[in-house]
Amino acid sequence: MSEESDQDRTEEASEKRLREAREKGELPRSRELSTGVVVLAGVSSILATRDELALHARNIMMLGVRYNREDLYSADGISHVLSAAALEALRMLAPLFVVTIVAAFAAPALLGGLNFSGQALLPKFDRLNPIAGFGRIFSTNGFVELGKSMLKLVLIGGVLVWYMMKSRADMLGTGSGDVAAGVHRSLGTIGQACLFFACVLGLIGLIDAPWQKFSFAKKMRMTKQQVKDEHKESDGNPEMKGRIRSMQIQMSRRRMMQDIPKADVVVVNPSHFAVALSYEDAMRAPRVVAKGMDVIAMQIRSVAGAHRVPLVEAAPLARALYNTTEVGQEIPATLFVAVAQILAYVFRLKTALAQGDAMPEKPNPDVDPDLLGRYRMNDEN
């Protein structure tokens, strides 16, 4: 099953998958590289401050072997010596502690960056499964870890044995001579041995780091189905989005039809376009309350006729209003004059009908053809 799954994972990991893995504390890490950096930082600190280390070590040894009469007969003589030795040891090791702590935090940033995850601290009981444990042991990663362990054993052990044989005379001579010189020589020998250790471990880490990045990228790969599911989750189900969009259009159309009785006039094409306009004294300009083409235009004409809203045929103006203005917006300034002619005609028409006067002449507003956009007039309509 795992082999089939690995074969199916042909797609690169998405940003969402990598972000979720980071939140779980899953990042490419090389223990050999981190250990090598920490040891190298510590060794460098020892070699750079070995004179001060030798001085502090000498002071600690002197505190341990030298007593005066007051210390022997004093009740707190031993505690005084121990506290002085502890303070001296703290002064000696403080630079080393600071350097190694900084290196321990900085080393992971070389490969996967700094990251803190609370989920990584939670116990994972699936690791207690012996079958899964055997699977990890005999996996490709398990054989790689075994190879690294054998390589570390051979290289580090061989280099340290070679160095011990090489510096055997120096190590045997540290017990003779001045104390300060012996401590200084011991620290130098230990520092060089640790330096060889750090270099070998760092070399293994430089080999291991690309493998860890490759292994992590391979683990994070996704199947085509996972990519599709993630797109659905992030972008939403297309069918559901279409259904929501359809419901929104229906609700908007229903509100639009409810506003038609409040309109002052409906400008028509005569049949392909219909735009309902409303104008009140508080408005800066007439406002479109409804508009539509074809079937929607027929519905607007029907609702307007049922509520006795005047219909005025002005084909270029109807198309220009449909092209330039959305429902709820005020008409553009370039159409003020044309719409004013229509509203004035409607006012005169209502007055004539109320008083029994002659019908006013219907206007033919002049409209800039560029305002019609893709709804320009042709011979058919």
Name the pLDDT band for 2 (thresholds 50, 70, 90).
very low
Considering only residues 214 and 118, tell me which one the structure prediction assigns the higher pLDDT: 214
pLDDT value at residue 180: 63
What single string gives the DSSP state of each residue in 167-233?
THHHHHGGGSS-HHHHHHHHHHHHHHHHHHHHHHHHHHHHHHHHHHHHHHHHHH-B-HHHHHHHHHH
Instruction: Report the range of poorest mean pLDDT among 101-110, 279-288, 306-315.
Output: 101-110
pLDDT value at residue 4: 44
Mean pLDDT (whole number) for 18-27: 73
Taking 70 as the threshold, does the pLDDT of residue 11 lie above it? yes
Name the pLDDT band for 123 (thresholds 50, 70, 90).
low
What single string gives the DSSP state of each residue in 50-111?
HHHHHHHHHHHHHHHH---HHHHH-TTHHHHHHHHHHHHHHHHHHHHHHHHHHHHHHGGGGT
Beta carbons of 132 and 126 less than 8 angstroms apart: yes
pLDDT value at residue 379: 47
SS3 289: strand
**Whole-number Å distance between alpha carbons of 213 and 219:** 10
Tell me the percentage of the chain whose pLDDT exceeds 90.
Answer: 6
Q: Side chain identity at 283, as an amino acid letter?
A: M
| Token duo for residue 113 | 């960056």
Per-residue pLDDT tens over the stretch 35-88: 888 888 888 887 788 778 778 877 887 776 666 666 666 666 677 777 888 888
The domains of the chain, with CATH numbers, are: 2-234 (no CATH), 261-375 (3.40.1690.10)
**Whole-number Å distance between alpha carbons of 137 and 119:** 24
Strand partners, 293: 273
Alpha helices in 107-178 (DSSP H): 130-137, 140-166, 168-172
Considering only residues 130 and 343, tell me which one the structure prediction assigns the higher pLDDT: 343
Q: CB atoms < 10 A from the CB of 217, how many?
A: 13
Name the pLDDT band for 137 (thresholds 50, 70, 90).
low
Mean pLDDT (whole number) for 247-276: 86
Per-residue pLDDT tens over the stretch 184-205: 677 677 777 878 888 888 788 7
Taking 70 as the threshold, does the pLDDT of residue 162 lie above it? yes
| pLDDT, mean over the chain | 78
Looking up tokens 């004294």, which residue turns up? 281
> β-pairing, 311-313 with 273-278?
unpaired
| Token duo for residue 136 | 């990890």
Mean pLDDT (whole number) for 1-16: 63
pLDDT value at residue 204: 81
pLDDT value at residue 74: 67
**Whole-number Å distance between alpha carbons of 334 and 367:** 9
Taking 70 as the threshold, does the pLDDT of residue 113 lie above it? no
Beta carbons of 87 and 80 less than 8 angstroms apart: no
Beta carbons of 216 and 12 less than 8 angstroms apart: no
- Candidates 373, 377, 378, 272; CA nearest to 316 is 377
pLDDT value at residue 234: 64
Taking 80 as the threshold, does the pLDDT of residue 307 lie above it? yes
Beta carbons of 303 and 276 less than 8 angstroms apart: no
> β-pairing, 265-268 with 311-313?
parallel
Per-residue pLDDT tens over the stretch 222-239: 887 777 777 776 665 666
pLDDT value at residue 352: 85
Buried b (16+ CB within 10 A) or exposed e, 174-207: beeeeeeebbbbbbbbebbbbbbbbbbbbebbee
Per-residue pLDDT tens over the stretch 321-371: 999 989 888 999 899 999 999 999 889 888 888 887 778 888 888 888 888
